[in-house]
Amino acid sequence: MRDEREFEDFYAAVFDRLVGQLYLVTGNLQDAEDVVQEALTRAAVQWSRLRRYGVPEAWVRRVAMNLASDGFRRVRRRLVVAVRLRADLESRQTVPAEVPGLIEALRALPMAQRKAVVLHHLLDLPVDQVAVELGVPVGTVKSRLARARGALATLLAPDAEARGLQDQGGAGTHG
């Protein structure tokens, strides 16, 4: 029972926060809720062991990140048996656009880049720890971050002038 109470507290503490983080990865609120819920269920299955790790939230986030991959999601949707309240699904795929264009820009990135962006820019993990989290070489993380930043800079620019093709034209000044 003590384990269950602990898990309930843990669930209450992390669910919203992880959904927020995973929303940036999935680009879809319902998907973010799904993968976080799935990851938390797996955490509940082995909670007595997991709680001893000390950082179960990182574990759940990593599982949710992996579940967010497209391939798994397609399969999972065929298998999933959980009953959900989806009456307002369509209206809940995105959150109100208080940050105009950002989620659309994130969606335009490959999933791998989105994960790197969230881990590094939102969660402040250094590049080598992002590499450990994602199980890829450090160079791959750097490349994904660099490309994501480039794409976001272009996608979030106020107008087409941000395109390199409309480069403002250089001007040299001498110091």
Q: Specify whether the CB–CB gap between 116 and 148 falls below 8 A.
A: yes
108 scored as a contact of other proteins (CB under 8 A): yes
Using CB under 8 A as the binding rule, the residues of this chain from 143 to 172 that contact other proteins are 143-147, 149-154, 157, 161-165, 167-172
Q: Which of 31, 77, 90, 99 binds other proteins (CB under 8 A)?
A: 99
Min. distance of Cβ 90 from other proteins in angstroms?
Answer: 14
Closest of 152, 55, 65, 54 to residue 101, by C-alpha: 152
Nearer Cβ to other proteins (90/135): 135
Q: Does 103 bind other proteins (CB under 8 A)?
A: yes
Q: Collapsing DSSP states into helix, strand and coil, what is residue 175?
A: coil
Could you tell me the smallest distance in angstroms from the CB atom of residue 60 to other proteins?
9
Q: How far is C-alpha 174 from the geometric centre of its chain's CA atoms?
A: 44
By CB under 8 A, tell whether 136 contacts other proteins. Answer: yes
For 34-76, give the secondary structure using H, E and C: HHHHHHHHHHHHCHHHHHHHCCHHHHHHHHHHHHCCHHHHHHH
Q: Which residues in the 4-33 window bind other proteins by CB under 8 A?
A: 4, 7-8, 10-12, 15-17, 19-21, 23-24, 29, 32-33
Q: Is 141 in the site for other proteins (CB under 8 A)?
A: yes
Query: Helix 29-45 crosses helix 56-67 at what angle (to 10 degrees)?
Result: 130
